[in-house]
């Protein structure tokens, strides 16, 4: 009887140990994947060089600010409605700056005043210390918020007239009906030829920690963007915006490091990136490399895996899109394209 009791006790202890071991295995399996010690410290990175020249961090993630394109490009009759402003005499840039309206927008559209520099004979945004022989006001006809409408055009007229009154000048305002019609046509063209491509990289098994995602992305050439949970693949051309963006949920500098991530997002804004950057090919390459390194699978937004045939079709369609944009003077990555598709 005693032997039986001891036997049952031993069996019970063995079962408990097995259950404890199984629980510990499940806990470890469900834990977000962290950066291996070799990556977190002073390891040899010779076999994991990034595809671009972004340096690997010695500790954490480098504070890298992406170069930005020109923020206030010049007015262009192809994309703006223009109002020439006649002057009785040349005017100083200081006087123009003092008379500008407090806002540089009309509704959802950018508004600007330019001057013809007396010395350089170039149209430019007014600068202090310069003199201008002519002025022009303009408002963008269309962007991703839609076409310039009647209300926005009326606001443009009022804003331009108030500016002219302040500098003692006379505007030559365009016809509203003609410009609103032109705005709708441009908006239709933009709607028909806009393209934003997104991939989702989804974890097959173990979730990822934020630090793990950042380190794996840095291997592929990504650098941190200004916003938490955002990274970008830099362009090869200096001064150009990022080619491909990578985003994931982040809860703050401390909490984000332990956040369990099961998917990250890759995005390409096609009209914003120069065709010569081969952005889609680079996007596919880094997506496949990340999937292999992180034990993930590349899908669309609905979780459907993307076969090679689908990527080939997309690449072919993008070639046609690039050609059409170039034919209409909105080459991808150009100043006009960035303005229209913004």
Q: Is residue 309 part of a domain?
A: yes
pLDDT tier, 239 (very low <50, low <70, confident <90, very high otherwise): confident
Domain harbouring 267, CATH code: 3.30.1400.10
Q: Are residues 131 and 213 in the same domain?
A: no
- How many angstroms separate the CA atoms of 120 and 183, rounded? 32
Residue 22 is predicted with a pLDDT of: 45
Q: Are residues 100 and 207 in the same domain?
A: no
Alpha helices in the chain (DSSP H): 2-30, 37-40, 93-99, 150-167, 176-192, 210-219, 279-294, 308-327, 335-340
Tell me the percentage of the chain whose pLDDT exceeds 70.
76
Residue 71 is predicted with a pLDDT of: 44
Q: Are residues 105 and 242 in the same domain?
A: no
Count CB-CB contacts under 10 A for residue 254: 7
Residue 260 is predicted with a pLDDT of: 87
More reliable by pLDDT, 136 or 310: 136
Range of 97's domain? 80-191
Q: Is the pLDDT of residue 243 over 70?
A: yes
Which phi and psi (to 5°) does residue 16 adopt? Answer: -60, -45
Q: Are residues 156 and 214 in the same domain?
A: no
Q: Are residues 222 and 312 in the same domain?
A: yes
Q: Stretch 305-332: mean pLDDT, rounded? A: 95
Quick one: how many helices (H) and strands (E) in the chain?
A: 9, 15
Note the pLDDT tens digit of each residue in 151-165. 999 999 999 999 999
pLDDT tier, 5 (very low <50, low <70, confident <90, very high otherwise): low
- Partner residues linked to 83 by β-bridges: 137
Question: For residue 220, what are the contacts with CB-CB under 8 A and spacing of at least 6?
Answer: 50, 51, 233, 286, 289, 290
Q: Which residues of 65-101 are buried (b: 16+ CB within 10 A; e: fewer)?
A: ebeeeeeebebeeebbbbbebebeeebbbeebeebbb
Q: Are residues 239 and 216 in the same domain?
A: yes
Q: Is the pLDDT of residue 84 over 90?
A: yes
Q: What is the DSSP letter of 167?
A: H
From 29-33, 144-148, 217-221, 292-296, the region with the lowest mean pLDDT: 29-33
Q: Are residues 175 and 249 in the same domain?
A: no
The pTM for the full model equals 0.77
Q: Is residue 86 part of a domain?
A: yes
- Please check whether residue 74 is in contact with residue 114, taking contact to mean a CB–CB distance below 8 angstroms: yes
- How many angstroms separate the CA atoms of 156 and 113, rounded? 11
Which phi and psi (to 5°) does residue 142 adopt? Answer: -160, 150
Q: Is the pLDDT of residue 41 over 70?
A: no
Residue of 255, 259, 280 whose CA lies nearest to 269 = 280
Q: Is residue 210 part of a domain?
A: yes
Domain boundary among 141, 165, 191: 191
If 0-12 CB within 10 Å is exposed, 13-18 middle and 19+ buried, where does residue 190 land?
buried
Q: Is residue 112 part of a domain?
A: yes
């Amino acid at each position: 009887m005693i032997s039986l009791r001891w036997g049952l006790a031993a069996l019970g202890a063995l079962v408990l140990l097995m259950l404890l071991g199984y629980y510990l295995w499940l806990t470890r399996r469900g834990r977000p994947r962290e950066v291996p010690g070799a990556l977190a410290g002073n390891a040899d990175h010779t076999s994991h060089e990034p595809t671009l020249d972004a340096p690997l961090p010695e500790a954490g993630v480098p504070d890298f600010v992406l170069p930005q394109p020109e923020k206030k490009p010049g007015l262009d009759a192809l994309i703006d409605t223009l109002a020439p402003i006649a002057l009785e005499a040349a005017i100083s840039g200081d006087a123009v700056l003092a008379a500008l309206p407090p806002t540089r927008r009309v509704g959802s559209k950018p508004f600007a005043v330019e001057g013809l520099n007396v010395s350089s004979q170039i149209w430019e945004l007014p600068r202090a210390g310069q003199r201008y022989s002519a002025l022009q006001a303009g408002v963008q006809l269309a962007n991703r918020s839609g076409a310039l409408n009647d209300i926005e055009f009326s606001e443009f007229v009022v804003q331009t007239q108030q500016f002219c009154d302040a500098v003692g000048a006379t505007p030559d305002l365009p016809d509203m009906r003609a410009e609103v019609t032109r705005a709708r046509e441009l908006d239709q063209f933009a709607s028909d030829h806009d393209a934003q491509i997104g991939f989702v990289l989804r974890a097959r098994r173990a979730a990822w920690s934020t630090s793990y995602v950042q380190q794996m992305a840095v291997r592929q050439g990504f650098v941190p963007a200004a916003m938490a949970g955002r990274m970008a693949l830099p362009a090869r051309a200096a001064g150009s915006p990022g080619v491909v963006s990578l985003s994931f949920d982040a809860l703050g500098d401390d909490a984000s490091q332990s956040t369990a991530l099961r998917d990250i997002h890759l995005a390409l804004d096609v009209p914003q990136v120069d065709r010569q950057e081969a952005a889609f090919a680079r996007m596919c390459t880094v997506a496949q490399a990340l999937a292999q390194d992180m034990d993930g699978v590349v899908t669309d937004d609905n979780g459907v895996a993307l076969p090679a045939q689908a990527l080939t079709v997309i690449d072919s369609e993008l070639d046609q899109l690039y050609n059409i944009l170039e034919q209409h003077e909105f080459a991808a990555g150009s100043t006009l394209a960035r303005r229209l598709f913004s």
